Homo-oligomer: A and B are copies of this chain.
Amino acid sequence: MTTYIPPGKRRPQSPHLPFGDRRDTPFYGKDILSVDQFDRTALEHVFGVAHQMREMVERVGTFDLLKGKILANLFYEPSTRTSSSFLAAMERLGGSVIAINEVRYSSVAKGESLPDTVRTLEAYADVIVLRHPEVGSAALAAKHARKPVINAGDGIGEHPTQALLDLFTIVEELGQVDGLTVTMLGDLKYGRTVHSLARLLAQYDVRINYVSPETLRMPEPIIGELERRGVKQRSCNALEPALEETDVLYVTRVQKERFGDPAAYESVANCYTVTPDTLRRAKDRMIIMHPLPRVSEIALEVDDDPRAAYFRQMEYGLYVRMALLAMVLGKV
């Protein structure tokens, strides 16, 4: 029952998945816990399916691939953006959703354990999406669940579907990843998204520029890992030298609170803000990405430029999550 079967081998004996499931597909019954599960072949598989999802949504809006399936959308901390995205993904596939935004049990809100909650929910649902503030919570849930668990963020741990949608955005917008120069801008120390994206990019032939304040640099372990894997990397304090060659400008927010001294923040904030002037010096065929929400690090005037890809990025997220749901449920 609770015996841990590694994701790669686990095949749910769930009676809920009986007809037309392709149990021989690589992700059937698997958990999605980490970007480390995705080698280049797997990435290409996911992106191929996500692209098909895009075409289907553009053509028919929704379709009944997951009709009869139920997703438990289990969010221990609020994230309207991510929970809405999974919810829409499931609904566009004809499935249903149990949305649980705060886990509470009337009088006995004494704190049921995560494994017990997950085992309860899988009595009702076919797949579980979990957002939880603690690192490792998704793996813990997956260990006890018979149904597939998708990690939608476990604290400062992983948020693999965000990384996958970031990479898929690049693929869809620019046609390929090999040969591109990706510049990451802003807070590269605390930004979970840039860490995961960098590690995914290491599977391609890319050049990465890191532009950040001295105190918010990309962590050494990640730089070291990418270096060993042969990625050309460069760090600088200003966007200027990197901008001209940039194909993908990935912007993150520099939070004032990261600076002890407000003056220190003010002195650098401008350097990490994207404006129409930034665009004038950028390539014609490049894209600006952002995990959103954006505060002031991208000027509103930039939104109208076709290179502003950050709202489209949300839509690519929908397609990637549709693909993952269909894949773990054995429908593609």
Interface, chain A (partner B; CB < 8 A):
1-3, 15-19, 57-63, 67-70, 72, 77-81, 84-85, 87-88, 91-92, 96, 98-100, 102-106, 108-110, 112, 116, 119-121, 123-126, 131, 153, 253, 292-295, 303-304, 306, 308, 311-312, 314-315, 317-318
Contacts A72-B84, A112-B294, A304-B2: A78 and B104 contacting too (C-beta < 8 A)? yes
Q: Chain B contacts of A81 at CB under 8 A?
A: 105, 120
| A125 to B, closest residue via Cβ | B88
A294 near B116 with CB under 8 A, answer: yes
> When A1-B304, A108-B253 are in contact, do A19 and B60 touch as well, CB less than 8 Å?
yes
Closest B residue to A3 by beta carbon equals B304
- Please name all residues of chain B whose beta carbon is closer than 8 Å to the beta carbon of A110 when the two chains form the complex: 293, 295
Are the C-beta atoms of A67 and B78 separated by less than 8 Å?
no
A105: chain B residues at CB < 8 Å are 78-81, 293
Known: A1-B304, A57-B16, A60-B18. A88 touches B98 (CB 8 A): yes
Given contacts A15-B58, A18-B59, A81-B120, 18 further A-B contacts (CB under 8 A): A1-B308, A15-B57, A18-B58, A62-B67, A62-B96, A63-B68, A70-B91, A72-B84, A77-B106, A79-B105, A80-B100, A80-B102, A99-B99, A108-B253, A112-B293, A112-B294, A123-B317, A124-B314
The residues of B that contact A1 with a CB separation of less than 8 Å are 303-304, 306, 308
Question: Within 8 Å CB of A112, what residues of B?
Answer: 292-295
Residues in chain B near residue A91, CB distance under 8 A: 70, 96, 98
